């Protein structure tokens, strides 16, 4: 079964990479505003086709877009270009709270534009549509609706680790990982990031 799904994924990737881009329908790749949106109006197929013809954000656009400071947390590290080998655009930013080195948040963003990004985002969106929940002695992991989007939320109190994952504007895949931070604090961080990136 695993081999069959791998073959299907690569076949889908091959087909989507072979399609021509229509330059007249390419939209600006710099996001104007990040908002929570209800994706139930669009099918995954329609979204994927629209993303295939868009140009992924450049490293420079990502560097300008990602905030250097969020509340009391400063960006200590920024990685861009790590997905270029797969013809995708993405970045990872790490933030530390001033005066509290143990408190850390990392934010990874993947731009779903372009043929490869569209395939990856389609797969991620399908995962987030699962009805999933796992309870553990040290926490939980669940996928649910929050403010009109599908969210994967994970909490591990033994390791002082929390994680939030979702897709915004049917294009940008975000993963926030918090260490030595409460879940509510991480959600506050997410909201501040959204405000800063609009």
Kindly report, residue by residue over 26-42, the tens digit of the pLDDT: 334 444 444 444 444 45
Q: Which pLDDT score is estimated for 47?
A: 81
- Give 46-61 pLDDT, tens digit per residue: 888 888 889 999 999 9
Q: Which pLDDT score is estimated for 85?
A: 75
Q: Which pLDDT score is estimated for 43?
A: 63
CA–CA distance, 179 with 189 (Å, rounded to integer)? 13
Confidence of residue 16 (pLDDT cuts 50, 70, 90): very low
In the chain, where the domains are located: 2-28+36-196
CA–CA distance, 39 with 24 (Å, rounded to integer)? 25
Confidence of residue 7 (pLDDT cuts 50, 70, 90): very low
Under 8 Å between Cβ of 181 and 162: yes
Beta strands in 58-190 (DSSP E): 69-70, 73-80, 89-97, 100-111, 133-136, 139-146, 149-156, 161-168, 172-179
More confident residue, 175 or 85: 175
Mean pLDDT over the full length of the chain? 81
- Give 127-166 pLDDT, tens digit per residue: 999 999 999 999 999 999 998 999 999 999 999 999 999 9
Q: Structure pTM?
A: 0.77
> What is the CATH class of 2-28+36-196?
alpha beta
Confidence of residue 21 (pLDDT cuts 50, 70, 90): very low
Q: Which pLDDT score is estimated for 83?
A: 83
- Give 75-87 pLDDT, tens digit per residue: 999 999 888 778 8
- Give 89-112 pLDDT, tens digit per residue: 999 999 998 888 789 999 999 999
């Amino acid at each position: 079964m695993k081999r069959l799904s791998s073959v299907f994924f690569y076949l889908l990737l091959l087909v989507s990479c072979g399609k021509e881009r229509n330059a007249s329908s390419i939209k600006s790749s710099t996001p104007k505003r990040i908002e929570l949106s209800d994706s139930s109006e669009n099918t995954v197929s329609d979204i994927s086709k629209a993303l295939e013809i868009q140009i992924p954000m450049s490293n420079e656009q990502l560097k300008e877009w990602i905030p250097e400071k969020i509340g009391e947390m400063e960006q200590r590290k920024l990685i861009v270009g790590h997905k270029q080998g797969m013809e995708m655009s993405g970045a990872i930013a790490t933030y530390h709270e001033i005066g509290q080195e143990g408190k850390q948040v990392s934010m990874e963003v993947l731009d779903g534009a372009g043929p490869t990004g569209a395939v990856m985002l389609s797969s991620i969106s399908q995962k987030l549509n699962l009805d999933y929940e796992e309870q553990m002695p040290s926490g939980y992991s669940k996928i649910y609706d929050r403010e009109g989007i599908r969210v994967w939320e994970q909490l591990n109190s033994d390791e002082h680790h929390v994680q939030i994952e979702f897709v915004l504007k049917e294009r940008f895949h975000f993963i926030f990982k918090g260490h030595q931070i409460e879940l509510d604090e991480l959600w506050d961080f997410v909201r501040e990031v959204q405000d800063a990136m609009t």
